[in-house]
Amino acid sequence: MNKTNGMEGLRRNSTYEFCVISVIDAVSSHPSETSDVINLRPQGRASSLRVVPEMTEAPEFLDIDGDKITICWLPAHSQLPVMGYDVEFRDLQQDDRWYKVNDQPVFACKMTVGDLILDHDYQFRCCVGSQCVRMLPTESTVTVYRLSSHTLDSPNLGHNDIVKYVEANRFGAVPLLQEEMVRESPPLPERDDSPPPLRRANNNVQWRDPSLKEVIEYLSSQDKDKQLNASGYLQHLTYSDNLIKEETRELGGIPKLIALLRSDTPRIQKNACACLKNLSYGKENDANKLAVMEGDGVRLLAEVLRTTHDASVKEEATAALWNLSSADMLKPVILESATEILSQQVIAPIFTQNGSGTAVDPSRHFGSTLFKNSTGILRNVSAASQTARRRLRDVPNLIEALVHFLTHSIQRNQVDTPTVENAVCLLRNLSYRIQEVVDPNYDPAAAHINSKNMKHAASPKPKKKEKEKKKDKDSKKNPKNIATGPSVLWQPHVVKLYLKLLQDSSNIETLEASAGAIQNLAACQFPPSAEVRAAVRVEKGLPVLVELIRLPEDFVVCAVATALRNLAIDPRNRELIGKYALREFLDKLPEAGSPRRSTVSDQTIGAVLGILFEIVRSSAAYTKDVHELKGTDKLRALSRSYPTYSHRVCKYASQVLYVMWQHKELHDGFKRSGLKEADFYSGTARRGDSSTLARPISSQGRERPSMHNLDETLSSGGGYGTMDHRHPPNSNRPASATSQTIQRRYDQVPSGPIYASVNKQSPRGNVDDSWV
What does each C-alpha distance from 339 to 244, 298, 346, 427, 672 come to in angstroms? 31, 11, 10, 15, 64
Instruction: Choose one of 663, 696, 729: the last residue of a domain.
Output: 696
In a domain, 752, yes or no: no
In a domain, 565, yes or no: no
Which pLDDT score, from 0 to 100, does residue 700 have?
A: 66
φ, ψ dihedrals at 143, nearest 5°: -85, 140
Higher pLDDT, 162 or 257: 257
Residue 742 has pLDDT above 80, yes or no: no
Residues 383 and 405 in one domain: yes
Residues 253 and 354 in one domain: yes
What residue numbers bound the domain in which 134 lies? 51-204
Instruction: Choose one of 430, 446, 476: the last residue of a domain.
Output: 430
Residues 187 and 301 in one domain: no
Neighbours of 69 (CB within 10 A): 23
Categorize the per-residue pLDDT at 445 as very low, low, confident or very high, splitting at 50, 70 and 90: low
Residues 160 and 282 in one domain: no
In a domain, 24, yes or no: no
In a domain, 751, yes or no: no
Are 383 and 372 in contact by the 8 Å Cβ rule? The answer is no
Q: How far is the C-alpha of 662 from the C-alpha of 230, rounded, in Å? A: 76
Categorize the per-residue pLDDT at 58 as very low, low, confident or very high, splitting at 50, 70 and 90: confident
In a domain, 554, yes or no: no
Find how far residue 326's CA is from the centre of its chain: 11
In a domain, 546, yes or no: no
Residues 260 and 131 in one domain: no
Residues 256 and 198 in one domain: no
% of the chain beyond a pLDDT of 90: 47
Pairing state of beta strands 120-130 and 136-137?
antiparallel
Residues 583 and 665 in one domain: yes
Which pLDDT score, from 0 to 100, does residue 420 have?
A: 96
Q: How far is the C-alpha of 289 from the C-alpha of 285, rounded, in Å? A: 7
Which pLDDT score, from 0 to 100, does residue 405 have?
A: 94
Categorize the per-residue pLDDT at 46 as very low, low, confident or very high, splitting at 50, 70 and 90: very low
Number of helical (H) and strand (E) elements in the chain, helices listed first: 33, 16
* 139 CB-contact burial (10 Å; exposed 0-12 / middle 13-18 / buried 19+): exposed
Residue 172 has pLDDT above 50, yes or no: no
Task: Estimate the share of the chain in helix, then strand, then coil, as percent rounded to the nearest 5.
Answer: 50, 10, 40
The arithmetic mean of pLDDT across residues 238-247, rounded, is 93
Q: How far is the C-alpha of 546 from the C-alpha of 529, rounded, in Å? A: 20
Q: How far is the C-alpha of 400 from the C-alpha of 354, rounded, in Å? A: 10
Categorize the per-residue pLDDT at 83 as very low, low, confident or very high, splitting at 50, 70 and 90: confident
Residues 305 and 386 in one domain: yes
pLDDT digits (tens, 9 = 90+) for 124-137: 888 876 544 444 45
pLDDT digits (tens, 9 = 90+) for 381-422: 998 888 999 999 999 999 999 999 999 999 999 999 999 999
Residue 652 has pLDDT above 90, yes or no: yes
Q: How far is the C-alpha of 761 from the C-alpha of 33, rounded, in Å? A: 85
Residues 147 and 219 in one domain: no
Q: How far is the C-alpha of 155 from the C-alpha of 260, rounded, in Å? A: 42
What total of structural domains would you count in the chain? Answer: 3
Which pTM does this prediction carry? 0.66
Higher pLDDT, 295 or 143: 295
* 391 CB-contact burial (10 Å; exposed 0-12 / middle 13-18 / buried 19+): middle
Instruction: Return the amino acid letter for 100.
Output: K
Residues 133 and 252 in one domain: no
DSSP 387: H
Higher pLDDT, 708 or 289: 289
Strands of 114-257 (E only): list them. 120-130, 136-137, 141-147, 164-168, 172-175, 198-200, 206-208
Which pLDDT score, from 0 to 100, does residue 613 have?
A: 94
Instruction: Choose one of 185, 204, 223: the last residue of a domain.
Output: 204
Helix (H, G, I), strand (E, B) or coil at 143: strand
Q: How far is the C-alpha of 391 from the C-alpha of 332, rounded, in Å? A: 11
Q: How far is the C-alpha of 150 from the C-alpha of 592, rounded, in Å? A: 81
Q: What is the CATH number of the domain that holds 371?
A: 1.25.10.10
Residues 185 and 266 in one domain: no
In a domain, 439, yes or no: no
Q: What is the CATH number of the domain that holds 139?
A: 2.60.40.10
Are 439 and 529 in contact by the 8 Å Cβ rule? The answer is no
Residue 99 has pLDDT above 50, yes or no: yes
Residue 352 has pLDDT above 80, yes or no: no
Which pLDDT score, from 0 to 100, does residue 482 have?
A: 76
pLDDT digits (tens, 9 = 90+) for 188-227: 344 444 456 666 666 666 667 888 999 999 999 999 999 9
Higher pLDDT, 162 or 599: 599
Residue 16 has pLDDT above 90, yes or no: no
Residues 152 and 295 in one domain: no
pLDDT digits (tens, 9 = 90+) for 582-597: 999 999 999 888 888 8
In a domain, 717, yes or no: no
Which pLDDT score, from 0 to 100, does residue 147 have?
A: 56
Residue 633 has pLDDT above 90, yes or no: yes
